[in-house]
A and B are shown apart, each in its own frame.
Chain A
Amino acid sequence: MRELTFSQATCEAMAETMEKDDKIFVMGEDLARQGGIFGQFKGLPEKFPGRIIDTPISETFIIGGGVGAALAGARPVVDMHFADFIGVAMDEVFNQMAKARYMFGGQAKVPLVLRAPDGMTFQGAAQHSQCVEAWFPHIPGIKVVAPSNPYDAKMVLIAAIESDDPVIYFENKILYKEKGKLPELADQVPYTLGKARVEREGSDVTIVSYSIGMKNARGAADLLAKDGIKAEVIDLITLSPWDKETVLNSVKKTHRLCVVHEAVKQGGFGAEISATVAEEAMEYLDAPILRYGAPFCPIPFAPTLEKMVRVYPEDLYKGIKGMF
């Protein structure tokens, strides 16, 4: 076992895949000279000269050019600096990247990874703090992942790069510095896109989350354990296509569901999970579904305001207690 940060784990994933396949290249802003503004590309420019490309501040090119490079036969990993900026190149995401394979009748493959650092950090305020993952599982043709720990960060990124489908890889900015255990290279287990993991087994309530939301899920499960409530904690890891079966099976066992994410609650991915459970396992529910996310408000700047749009483990703890 080794200990790495989330950010170092993504670097390992990049290095391992780039060594194996010279069609893989990286482009985005501030990568080659800086190693990425969160250090997530550190060391790669030296290791792979010419394959880590600094682009102009041109998001439509970064994503659209990535799609074109993929159509031409390369395997681009493109970086969005902040997930908030994907909006600049939304056409390239949902009309080009997502559709090329289908509308050309399978002639095209788009093996592209779009890395999207998201979430609140350093009082980034309204345009540098958002969690926008829920926009994308609504688009057929794209896969969406959001790992929650260093080991997953690495294995999910490898799976994303090796996939022949376009994958949006949400990486939470707070998580970059989080440390976690990784097995030695020989022992690491490949990740299959679309699989959730039951991180903690329990019998009384199912808590589903992903990315930084998992901190809340784990925190709440710890608090509940003190009261003798055994929470089953599921890390979704992939949001599209998501692992319905694992969630449904868990709810059929615990009869209670709580979903949580840092993103705005209204229209958040938790709504999809909740609706699916209501559709397919309603008769197993012994309490109304609980859903946690940010209030319907842009991310404020001042610390006193920003803390109001965050979710805390205590919120889940209180809400889940009320389910019994």
Chain B
Amino acid sequence: MATTKAAKAAYTQDQARKFYETMSTIRHFEESIKHDSLAGEIPGFVHLYIGEEAIATGVCAALRNDDSIESTHRGHGHCIAKGADVNRMMAEIFGKKTGLCEGRGGSMHIADFSVGMLGANGVVGGGYNLATGAALANKTVLKNDKVSVVFFGDGASNRGTFHEAMNVASAWKLPIIFINEMNCWASTTPYRTTCNLENISDRAAGYHIPGVIVDGQDVFAVYDAAVEAVARARRGEGPTFIEAKTYRIEGHFVGDPELYRTREETQKIFHDTDPLQMFRKKAEKLKVMTAEECDAVDADCVEKIKAAKKFAMESEYPDSSEFMKYVYVD
């Protein structure tokens, strides 16, 4: 099993600024969603990505626009990081006609095919085979050099689909990257109570896939690991498994009574490992971004999300008479 190398010294200021902008956008987006969901303005279930922003940001920064990702039910962060329009995302989550899925999907099925975000998935562990199939198609049928990524949590790694996809990906050296967001919680169940493995990436060895562990709170580290995995995939050398260690700060869904843990516990972890704060420290050390510059980005993001909310609120709901649209192509 490989481990993370020390972060590369050379990051451009543009790169750093992009990292922080993405993470701050996700953070503010999620906080706005949380507020509106608790206020009862958002229909349905929403699952927040707060505290895990560095993973989607670091991975997607290593991808091209035409590379594709398969996301999870906790998918807003992946969607933003892959470049989706936040206005249309917000509209979708509010169930509006201007939403990315024209109100057919909502939070759990958010997708933006134009940026290679092939969909959040309401079924835990539903994405592996889709991403692997996309990788197969790209490599052997469409014959291009696109890379597929599948994000999944620790809970999802216990699904049988995990095995089927990992086996095929390795057997055929498919251009796919498995990104495990090890956030310690499978819904309300602590991960270690249902699996006798400290590191899920240990499983990668069983398929002859390189397994890498990174600090999922450190966007630089995630990015470095992803860059290497993407290069390997494009070279035709096959899949990489990246286990990003993180922690689910919010409840499983907005409104989760969280009877299984205390608020103090999560707040302490958040205080110690908030990826945005970690970025600020590291960026200052690397001299790629100052605290003032970060503050300015945050301020922009607040405005951006306010505008997104306004866009969503001002949008119409889909016309009821069109509920059958998109069941079939023809």
Contacts and interface: CB of A to CB of B under 8 A. Distances in A.
User: Are chains A and B touching in the complex at the 8 Å CB cutoff?
Assistant: yes
Interface string A70-94: 1111101000000000000001100
A68 interface: yes
Contacts of B140: 25, 50, 53
Nearest to B132: A65
A66 interface: yes
Interface string B298-330: 000000000000000000000000000111111
B129 A104 contact: no
B277 interface: no
Contact of B119 (A51, A73, A108): A108
A194 B132 CA distance: 32
Interface string B118-142: 1101110010111111111110111
Contact of B111 (A58, A63, A64, A104): A104
Interface stretch (B14-22, B101-109, B288-296): B101-109
B327 A105 contact: no
Given A104-B101, A104-B109, A164 B132 contact: no
Nearest to A88: B160
B95 to A, nearest CB: 11
Nearest to A53: B140
Contacts of A74: 137, 141-142
Interface string A104-117: 11111100000000
A123 B126 CA distance: 35
A140 interface: yes
Contacts of B184: none
Contacts of B70: 68
Interface residues of A, number: 46
**Most chain A CB within a 10 A radius of its CB, from B103, B119, B325:** B119
Main secondary structure of the interface of A (DSSP, over half): mixed
Interface residues of B, number: 50
Interface stretch (B56-64, B163-171, B194-202): B163-171
Interface stretch (A95-103, A265-273, A289-297): A95-103
Interface in A28-69: 50-51, 53, 55-56, 58, 60-61, 63-69
B68 interface: yes
B161 interface: yes
B329 A164 contact: yes
A101 B328 contact: yes
B105 A105 contact: yes
A150 interface: no
A176 B203 CA distance: 43
A119 interface: no
A181 interface: no
**Most chain B CB within a 10 A radius of its CB, from A72, A96, A107, A141:** A72
B102 A105 contact: yes
Given A68-B132, A104-B119, A51 B101 contact: no
B127 to A, nearest CB: 9
A61 B329 contact: no
A23 interface: yes
B112 interface: yes
A143 interface: yes
Contact of B129 (A65, A73, A76, A103): A65
Contacts of B141: 22-23, 25, 51, 69, 74
A27 B167 CA distance: 16
Nearest to A55: B168
B142 A104 contact: no
A203 interface: no
Interface string B75-103: 00000000000000000100000011111
A102 B168 contact: no
A69 B165 CA distance: 13
A65 B126 CA distance: 11
13 contacts: A61-B165, A64-B128, A65-B130, A68-B136, A72-B68, A74-B137, A92-B129, A96-B129, A102-B104, A103-B105, A103-B119, A105-B100, A107-B100
Given A63-B129, A68-B131, A72-B137, 18 more contacts: A25-B140, A60-B129, A61-B129, A64-B129, A64-B164, A69-B134, A69-B136, A69-B137, A72-B142, A96-B121, A96-B130, A101-B327, A103-B101, A105-B101, A107-B100, A107-B111, A107-B114, A163-B330
Interface of A: 22-23, 25, 27, 50-51, 53, 55-56, 58, 60-61, 63-74, 76, 91-92, 95-96, 99-109, 140-141, 143, 163-165
The 9 closest A-B pairs by CB, nearest first: A64-B129, A68-B133, A65-B133, A105-B101, A68-B130, A69-B137, A74-B137, A72-B134, A105-B102
